Structure 1
C-alpha cells in the first residue's frame, strides 16, 4: 500500500463495484464465476480487474493470517502524541511506524493524539522492545498510550459496497 492516496475521483460503475464486492470476500474467485454473477464475459471481468489494479483501486491481493496460528497472541492499539509537527520530524516518525513489521496499521488522525497504531506481537516483551525502539528512542514522541485487546470481535478490511446504490 502507498502512504498517500489520490484524492482524484476514480470512476467505477456498478460492474466494477460488483467485482470489488466479490473480490473483497474471496480474491481467489475465478473470473468466470464473477462474470456469471454480474452478467459480463470473463475477459471483460479480467480487463476491469487489471484496470482497477493499475488505477490503484485494488491495492493488493494478500492472505489474511490468523495471528494466534503464528503465535502472535497480543494485539495492541497505541495512541501516539508528538511534541511538534515539523515536517522533517513528522515524516521520520511516519517512516519509522510504516517500516516496523509489528505495526499492522498506522493512521495519522485529528484530535488529541497524532497517530493511532494497530500493533500485533508475540509477547509483552516484544511489545516492550517495540516501545523502546519506536517511542522512547524518538525524541519527538511526547507520550503514547496502549490498549491491549482482550478479544477480536470483528476484524476486516472490506469496504461496504452496494453496486446498485453507490453508482449507476
Structure 2
C-alpha cells in the first residue's frame, strides 16, 4: 500500500490511539476486551478498527515470525549508493528491492547513500546470490556496504503513540 501523505491522514482521537496501542501489542486482543479497557462499546471499537483499516492507518494484521525458528538467522543491513539520481532509475531500484523476498525492509534515505535495506537470509551463500541479483546485475548500483548483525537486541514495528493527549 502506498504511503499516505499528511493531507491524506485521518484524524485520530484518544480512543483511536488507545485502540492502536493495544493492537500493536497484540492484534488478536478481542474487541470486547479493548472496549472494556478504553471505555467504549465493542461495536464502537469494531467500527473504529474497520475505519482505520480502510484508511490505511492499520496497514496489515500479520504474524511476526522469529527468523531463527525458520532458519533465517542472518540479518544484514545494507547501504546502497546509486550512480544516478534519475527518478526512473530510483523507481526501478525501489521496485526490485521491494520485490526481493530477502529484503525485509527498504528505506530511501538522505545522506551519502540512497537506500538502506534490512536483509534476512539463511546463509551467506544466499546473501551473495541476492547481491549478484540486486546489486551486481544493476548498472545503476555504484556500491553497496554490508553490516552483519551479531545479535537482534530490539526488533519491532510499533509506532510510539501519545495516548495521553486529549484529542476528540
Q: Do they fold alike, i.e. is TM over 0.5?
A: yes
The answer for the alignment partner of 1:157 in structure 2 is 157
1:3 positional shift = 4.0
For 2:130, the equivalent position in structure 1 comes to 130
Q: Distance in 1 between matches of 2:74 and 2:26?
A: 26
Q: TM-score, normalised by structure 2?
A: 0.96
TM-score normalised according to structure 1 size: 0.96
Q: Identify the residue that residue 36 of structure 2 maps to in structure 1.
A: 36
Equivalent position of 2:66 in the other structure:
66
Q: Does 1:57 align with 2:48?
A: no
**Counterparts of 1:91 and 1:127 in 2: how far apart (Å)?**
23
Q: Which residue of 2 aligns with 1:11?
A: 11
What's the CA shift for 1:5? 2.7
Q: Secondary structure at the match of 1:164?
A: coil
Distance across 1 between alignment mates of 2:139 and 2:166: 45
DSSP 3-state at the match of 2:139: coil
Identify the residue that residue 98 of structure 1 maps to in structure 2: 98
Q: 5+ residue gaps in structure 1?
A: none
Map Cα deviations across residues 101-122 of structure 1 (whole Å, 9 max, x no partner).
1000000000000000000000
- Count of residues paired in the alignment: 167
Residue 162 of structure 1: CA displacement? 2.5
TM-superposed CA distance for 1:166, in Å, is 7.1
Q: Please list every run of at least 4 consecutive aligned residues from structure 1 whose deviation after the TM superposition is greater than 3 angstroms.
A: none
Aligned runs of 1:73-84 on 2, under 5 Å? 73-84=73-84
Distance 1:31 1:153 in 2: 31
Q: Which residue of 1 aligns with 2:142?
A: 142
